[in-house]
Chains A and B, each alone.
Chain A
Amino acid sequence: MSYASGGGAHAQSQGMVDHSIVGQITAAQNAARLRFRLTFVAVWIAIIVGIGVALAAANAWDWEFALESGPVIVLQGAGITVLISVASIVGATILAILGALGRISTNPILYAIASFYVSLIRGTPLIAQIYIIYFALPQLDIVIPAIPAGILALSLNYGAYMTEIFRAGIQAVPRGQREAAGALGMRQAHIMRRIVLPQAVRIVTPAIGNEFIAMLKDSALLSTISVHETLFLAQRLGRSSFEPITALLIAAIVYWILTIVFSIFQERLEKRMARSDR
């Protein structure tokens, strides 16, 4: 009762506000927001034009090379970059789930194995791991072609970092979920697979997106083991035609655009998941 009368009084006082003031405030806020955005775009354009003018003045950008070799770098190179990154994020996710299960295990052997994996991989440079898999293993008669070797190295490396992400994600699932599942008579493996992991995956999805974007760029390290990805092609074509600036700038732009595209994609995915959670 008291709520209802209170609400009535509130509505009345609201009715007395001068609507033209509200309209003016909204319009001013919209104008300020628009001004901010326009300035933002203008600054970006200014910087890009500035770089373009500087390159033209130094006679550094070669259109002939760009039009001839650019499509190779973009189509073939970016294709391989994305392919390797997608394959590696899948591998890394599988390793990370196994690693996380080990890291939360009460079995000392599993815990030790998972901890060793995370410690070793996080404690050594990615480039060293790539070299060991591609250049050192053949000495033991284990020869892995460049692309699988690259995917293996990236999967192992990112899997170790993502192990901690998944561990945190699993532990972020409220304890009540496990208790409720246990109270319904589910066994531990069932609880993990059907109740905890699906919720943990949702929790860590934004973080996996970040890892994927980082991986797109780290995959450039595979140019050192002659995987024909973006940077490798740019380097080779740029060197043979004495146009390293144009070639490497194209490669840089390819990575930049790829990360922007996947960031937008990730943002959409996150919004959609947030909506289904509500």
Chain B
Amino acid sequence: MTDEPLPDLGVRPATSTSGYARGSSLPSHIGDPIVKIEGLHKYFGSNHVLRGLDLEVRQREAVMIIGRSGSGKTTLLRCINFLEEPSAGTIEVDGVRLEADPLHSRSRAFQERVRQIRLRAGMLFQEFNLFPHMSVLGNCIEAPTRVLGLPQDKAVERAEYYLEVVGLGEKRDEYPSRLSGGQKQRVAIARALCMEPKVLLFDEPTSALDPELIGEVLRVMEDLAHAGTTMIVVTHEMHFAREAADRVVFMESGVVIEQGPPEQVLDNPKHAETTHFLRRFLDQ
């Protein structure tokens, strides 16, 4: 499948996977590559959603993925930790490298590799997906105690720390049903942070929220970005992307069309598709 030539869509994938021009120096806080995606393809039935996508994300980098719906943004994010199984291609997260192998992916060994990737990549969902039968604290210590094997008191200490980070320390004993949408998403962020992953994946984290609750979540995310958390964010919040992104990636038809610093991609896009998308998006 990797060898299949790309259908001619009149678009050309970006040549550099890092998104930074060769020779130009990286922003000083950004480190070595920690997520590498190579030749990623995903089919849903005969629907070719990702078409040989390459992307590299570096340590302490905040990458925002934009693009119209159906361009494959969410699928890309879900393929990184195998919530969606890639049809072909290679994913590497923090040195754990896994080549897509749909025919043998049910094997124990493969599933264990998937789990190793998931332990390194925390995921945030549109619908938060807190566990409704557990308190906020329960949500935050379940995986650290039972997956990482952290002692209870250490896990609680860690959970309390990260709940403070998202500004919800006083909610530790509440149940999710008593929280607002914004608070739920912040708890979900704390829950992910409690696993101390190498990278956070955000799948449109504010699109299920009432408009007045979006700000509190974006603020937390912006703080995390500025504190050097590696993150990949699928978002429609252009203003937020401009403020918090080290790099903006524009996707279309399952490939990366254009990427670079936000002021470049958002203000001076080089490709007609990007211009077109941004114009239509800002008109709404």
B-binding residues in A (CB < 8 A):
174, 176-177, 179-187, 190, 194-195, 198-199, 202, 276-278
**Shortest Cβ gap from A104 to chain B (Å):** 16
Is B133's CB under 8 angstroms from A184's CB? no
Q: A176-B127, A277-B132 are in contact. Are A184 and B175 (CB under 8 A)?
A: no
Q: Is B48 an interface residue (CB 8 A)?
A: no
The prevalent SS among residues of A at the interface is helix
Q: How large is the interface on B (under 10, 10 to 19, 20 to 34, 35 or more residues)?
A: 20 to 34
Binary contact readout B73-108 vs A (1 if CB under 8 angstroms, 0 otherwise): 000000001010000000000000000000000000
**Shortest Cβ gap from A192 to chain B (Å):** 13
Is A180's CB under 8 angstroms from B131's CB? yes
Is B129's CB under 8 angstroms from A180's CB? yes
Is A185's CB under 8 angstroms from B119's CB? yes
Is B131's CB under 8 angstroms from A183's CB? no
Q: A199-B133, A277-B132, A277-B177 are in contact. Are A185 and B127 (CB under 8 A)?
A: no
Is B191's CB under 8 angstroms from A184's CB? yes
Is B132's CB under 8 angstroms from A183's CB? no
Binary contact readout B132-147 vs A (1 if CB under 8 angstroms, 0 otherwise): 1100000000110011
- Give Cα A139 to B125, complex, Å: 60
Contact partner, B146, options A174, A183, A194, A276, Cβ 8 Å: A194
Is A185's CB under 8 angstroms from B131's CB? no
Is B83's CB under 8 angstroms from A179's CB? yes
Residue of A nearest to B195 (CB): A184
Q: Is B171 an interface residue (CB 8 A)?
A: no
**Shortest Cβ gap from A266 to chain B (Å):** 20
Q: A183-B118, A184-B143 are in contact. Are A202 and B83 (CB under 8 A)?
A: no
Residue of A nearest to B119 (CB): A185
Q: A177-B131, A195-B131, A202-B133 are in contact. Are A183 and B122 (CB under 8 A)?
A: yes
Q: A176-B125, A176-B127 are in contact. Are A182 and B118 (CB under 8 A)?
A: yes
- Give Cα A176 to B132, complex, Å: 12
Interchain Cβ contacts under 8 Å between A and B, 11 examples:
A174-B127, A177-B131, A180-B131, A181-B131, A183-B121, A183-B122, A185-B143, A195-B131, A198-B133, A276-B175, A276-B177
Is B125's CB under 8 angstroms from A190's CB? no
Is A179's CB under 8 angstroms from B133's CB? no
Q: Is B225 an interface residue (CB 8 A)?
A: no
10 nearest interchain CB pairs?
Answer: A180-B129, A184-B143, A183-B123, A176-B129, A185-B119, A185-B147, A185-B118, A198-B133, A176-B127, A278-B177
Residue of B nearest to A184 (CB): B143
- Give Cα A177 to B147, complex, Å: 16
Name the B residues within 8 Å of A181 (CB-CB).
131, 143
Is B133's CB under 8 angstroms from A185's CB? no
Q: Most chain-B Cβ atoms within 10 A of its Cβ — which of A183, A195, A278?
A: A183
Name the A residues within 8 Å of B146 (CB-CB).
186, 190, 194
Is B125's CB under 8 angstroms from A180's CB? yes
List B residues 5-53 near A (Cβ within 8 Å): none
Q: Is B154 an interface residue (CB 8 A)?
A: no
Q: A199-B133, A277-B177, A278-B177 are in contact. Are A184 and B142 (CB under 8 A)?
A: yes
Is B81's CB under 8 angstroms from A186's CB? no
20 additional A-B pairs beyond A180-B123, A185-B147, beta carbons within 8 Å, are A176-B125, A177-B131, A180-B129, A180-B131, A182-B83, A182-B118, A184-B147, A184-B195, A185-B115, A185-B119, A185-B143, A185-B195, A186-B142, A186-B143, A186-B146, A186-B147, A187-B115, A194-B142, A199-B131, A199-B132
- Give Cα A22 to B131, complex, Å: 44
- Give Cα A180 to B78, complex, Å: 11
- Give Cα A182 to B116, complex, Å: 11
**Shortest Cβ gap from A188 to chain B (Å):** 8
Residue of A nearest to B188 (CB): A180
